[in-house]
Structure 1
Amino acid sequence: MITGISLKEIATYDRDGAEFQDLKKINFIYGTNGSGKTTISNFLSDTKQNKYAQCRITWQNALPLRTLVYNKDFREKNFGNGQIDGVFTLGQATKEEIEEIEAKVKIRQQHKQDWENRKETHDKKVSELAIHEEDFRETVWRDIYKKNEGTFKDAFSGFMTKENFKKKILEEYASSARTLKTREVLTEKANTIFGQPPTALNLLGTFDPEKIIALENDPIWQKKIIGKADVNIAQLIQRLNMNDWVNTGREFLEETGDTCPFCQQNTITSNFRDQLESYFDQTFLTDTAKVGEQAASYQRETQNLLAILNQITVTEEQNAGRKLDLTLFKAYVHTFSTQILSNQEQLNNKIKEPSRSIELISVKVQLENISNLITAANDEINKHNQIVVNFARERQELVADIWRLLIDDHQAMLKQFVDQKANLEKAIKGIETTVRTAKQNYHTVKQEIINLSDNVTSVQPSINKINKTLRAFGFRNFEIVPSPEKNKYQIKRQDGEIAETTLSEGEITFITFLYFLQLCKGGLSEQTITEDRILIVDDPISSLDSNVLYVVSSLVKEIIKDIKKGSGSIKQLILLTHNTYFHKEVSFIDGRTKDCADTAFWILRKNSSQSELQAHGRKNPIQTAYQLLWKELQNRQHSSPLTLQNTMRRIIEHYFKILGKLGDDQIIQQFEDQDDQQICRSLLCWINDGSHTIPDDLFVEQPEDVTERYFEVFKKIFEHSRHQEHYLMMMGEPS
């Protein structure tokens, strides 16, 4: 694969030149005429010419591959003398084989005539069936739908087009076995059930208060945590009740050394330290640690529960159909919140003074009250949802009964249609069998002729493929035929005239491109057929009609797909073109793929008679005029208000007026609110005035926020007309 191309001191490339780096499997190079595209294709066609002495080509792993170049030189070389080289070589036929082919041709003609006759009969029956279907579709729409939509329109939901309604009525005719009810009964029931249905409600979340209750009842809160009593200093500490005070003070001994943190004298001896350590023993440390852990657990559990309850409050405040007694619920939650704040203060005191005995306020009653409210609300929600379920079932039963009534009212008409359709389909199926047989006979003999023709001349397989493509895309007034000269092609009209000098430039271009595609898949000898190769295609749509442009782009896209999949012998494509429409068409794969690691885009420009190269990586730089208008809006902060007025006008005209066939009044009517309609009308006047007239000084000096206010109305036009997704896509905003 080619990974780099350097062009210097040739044609429009100066001493600095241009260099393609990191070429991919698929490479699109856009450039206007004269920008240097042909120089690239000519260089790649024959890199050894002296004039390309300063140009270089870099191969992946330094392994060159066979390079096939399609450009103007290729067309002139292969179609300049009326004869075209064959793509590959096969054996020669004997006299007996030629006679056998001639006999097969006659048989093939007979099978073709038989196939055409049977196909004509088949098409007539198919057309008759289509007319029968169309008449029936119009009849049921007129006699059933229109006459019943006033009373039973809700029953037709999902089937309000002629085709869907026809399919539904036939489906019900074939399967309905319900008990028939009178029109009067169904009409009365429809007046009750058809309307705005109730919607299901979500259950409220429940909680388990046991863990919080267990934490509140932990005996550690009432336990007085003090030091060991059999230590010398214990009697004084406990008599003065300064257990917590000494415990706090001993934390400073590590910093003061022998100096007492209280009297500032050097009274701290090792013996005193030992007595302190003995007094505040492991039991003391374990209990104080438990106080901290349980206090943290209590805070975590209560805060988590409070967050859940607050969320229920917020959700239910916005729920118009709530079943929860929200006033009482909020009161209980507030009390619960106050209680846990008081308890938290108690816990903090216990942590600071372990010798203190505390008793927490019990939140059990409040949590039971809250839980009871939630349970009661969920019971009501379940009852409501059961009503919703029953309502849906009743509505479903009513719809089925209505269809049963309609079937009974039109039983004779439906039976006549179904019976006649069955007869026509049976006849068509029988004829299809004979058509397939006649077609298979034709193709069998045709394939036998092709197989035998492979031995008549070396070029017949490629002839067949090129002619097949020509016919497939509507070129039927000429074809490729073997030349009297061995392994050569000729172009012949239907009347037998050799078309060497009468083909148009576009026809020659198209034929040479088809020949090039065959050459890409084959070779001029059997030895080169399976070689890996690289394709260089330079403006294959030159002189072609616009409809053929689609054909060429379709053929190129098939090659691109094969390259990406790694199938076939073509390993890389470099496509050069000056046609922006062809560039967009051939580089477009589908509407979802944004970029591809196997694809690269480049632009060639001519600046002061010298070619300049711009690399765009995976991003396609060629955009339509409509896309560029939206790009202006994306960058509106850097554009003048006058430019934006014209831009918004052109977008509205293209999307709503040209494509959507909507006038100004129809656009304005998309807004339901009258004030919004006036704002929209103001916008349309503003952008039309700003894009068609020269504004006076007063207009020019309007505040900049005017533009943004009108831009918001421009956005709302798409929202109110239900085209918001198009707006978001074109503005590059997430949907």
Structure 2
Amino acid sequence: MIQKIDIEKFGLFNDYQWKDSVGSKELFRKLNILYGRNYSGKTTLARIFKSLQDGLIHKNYIDSKFKVTFSDGKEITQDNILELDPDFKIRVYNTDFVNENLSWLHNEDGSIKPFTILGAKNIELDKKIRFIEEQLGSIEEKKGILFTHDTETQILDTKKTQLEQSKKSLNDKLREKAVEIKRTSTIYNYPTYQINTIKRDISKIKPETLLADDIIFDKTRLLKEEAKNDIQKLIEKKPNFNKYFEEVNEILFQEIRATETLKHLIENAVLQEWTRKGIGLHKEIRDNCGFCGNPIPADLWSKLDLHFNKESEELRNRIRIKVVALNNAKDAINKFVSLKKEDFYQKLHPEFEILEEEWKINCESYINALNQLISSLELREKDIFNSTIRPECTDTSDEILETFTKFNELIEEHNLSTSSLKEAQEKIRLELRMSEVAEFVKNIEYEKHNNTLGILEADIQLKDTASLLTKKKVEELLEEKRKLEAEAKDESKGAELVNQHLAHYFGHEELKLVSIGVSPDIEFKITRDSDDAKNLSEGECSLISFCYFIARMEDEMKDELNLKKLIIYIDDPISSLDSNHIFFMFSLIESIIGKPKKYGQLFISTHNLDFLKYLKKLTSPEKHQPIPTVKAVDGRQHFLIERKDKSSTYIKLAPKYLKNYITEFNYLFDQIHHCANSDVETIGHTYQYNFGNNMRKFLEAYLFYKYPNHLIGLDSRLGKFFDNDSVTINLINRLINEYSHLGENFERGMEPIDAEAIRKIANAVLNRIKETDIDQYEALVESINE
């Protein structure tokens, strides 16, 4: 069905936007009643629908621009008008229809295009047609294949709606997550991330995609890194421990041959070392022993010199030098690796920490080995004549060299990372994003939802296949029925159906459509009492043309399968008809179209308030659900077509008083109330031109009920109502006489009333009603403000 219409340019419509005038929450419904005064734009709107029917822009609006939105989301504009679904049947009754099909208004011969309907009964054909009709059944009667197809279609539509809602729900979650990732620029840096992107990411998720929290924390920190300086590599040189070991052993192996040794010192290394130190404290310094106080024997110094000879002192000196060298080697190895974790990129920190620990262990082992060498030397120094001392240590030089190599490999990776930092960080961003998506998929049970959608889609496919088979069967039966009906159709019966409507609904026995000729060269002519009708009145033209349209619609309504796509637009069918004819016009619409509900969507426009009153009684269609996600609403809606100025027409929701009361009295009061309470600039073109007529009709109705004496006229009633206030009465009389009944004042009627005078008169009348009958005034105001 048609949901809404936007009109940038088409006749009286300019820059009309549905959402600005009607609102985004309201749409056309199944039954749409449109009210508008003459020249407000009703015919213009009907011609947009006629353009859709013809697949061709109306010749008077070639440069038009409009957009008609259908319930399936399809938008038809002036540029793609031929793309309208061919199953849609849009049928418009307006002056163009009359001109195209009933040419008595412009052709002297009065010929009319014929159409065929089911002719006289053929027993055999009728029997076959009835059998097919029984098979087809009826949706309303809930039987037959038509009902089966309708049920299948409804179930299918429900399933499709359920699928769309489920997809929308899931897509909403995906879209919301995509926006979240898009906005988290410090981590993901993906400004174009959207729903299609997250769907693509989801398809790439693997079990290892989801990262642990500590890994996410570490990777997030890496994103904050900036480029670091290159690090100088270590010298990959094996430590000299083997050399030190050999040199120390050489010293330790050296034997000292004293000229004359003191046995008791040789046997006691501690005593010997104590003695050697004592020489330095006593020789040539003291004559007495600093320990016991006894005199030092004169020959003691010569004996000790023989014991501590030059060779032993040289060995001691070598030992001291080597100990210093080994201590220096210890200091050197400690200072050899001065690398800091902070110098490396964060991603290398774990490996650096492992190497740092490895280096510390190897370094400690190396220093311990050197300490063993030093301890051996120091022991030999104290026991200089003992050449049996041997160090026990392990050489870790190879392990240290290997650690140096590993450090250099790490340094090389660091230096290379500087040039590829951006690439590495992009890889991290991808890993973090994919982990975030994997966590999201897990939390919303994406796989479960997706499986549910798959099952639903498979179910829909099965039901769609079944529905298509049923539809095919229906189409086959309908096609067979059409062929049978074509054999029984008779163009002359089209004229008879029109005549039946004229006689039954309008009592016009004298006017008839008569078929002339033999098929396929049949024409219709209008006759009055068997003679060619000439000079038909406007009212008679209206009756015949509308009966003709209705008869043609009856034939369209026989297509049961496509009834939901039949859109009927009836544009202001009332023209110069009295009240009885207006009622019968309504009765014809109600009987043939309204009550059977054999249409997909119905539009009826009118300028006549009496007809509008009857239209309120049209059989209301079932509740209408314009959008699957919106709850069903009443199948009927009332609209108002209003012209603001010469080139500005609007469609809007009809005010409640016009919809609910449908009385001209309420409408006229609203028109006067608007003029009384509007600024001069905003009263509006239409209100100015119609004000004289509106005021006269309102006062005639109001004052007659107030003073129901048929012996007095409007002038007397005005005098009574306004307490003979001559100024006000004269002003009103001038208004309702000169601008309502033109007479000799035709030229004055071509000019609108001054807006300030309109406000003054409107306020005078309303204030007087308020003074004399406050209850009536307040009730009227309440009726137009509901």
Q: Which has the larger radius of gyration?
A: 2
**Normalized against structure 2, the TM-score is what?**
0.34
**Normalized against structure 1, the TM-score is what?**
0.36
Bigger RCO of structures 1 and 2 (CA < 8 A, at least 6 apart): 1
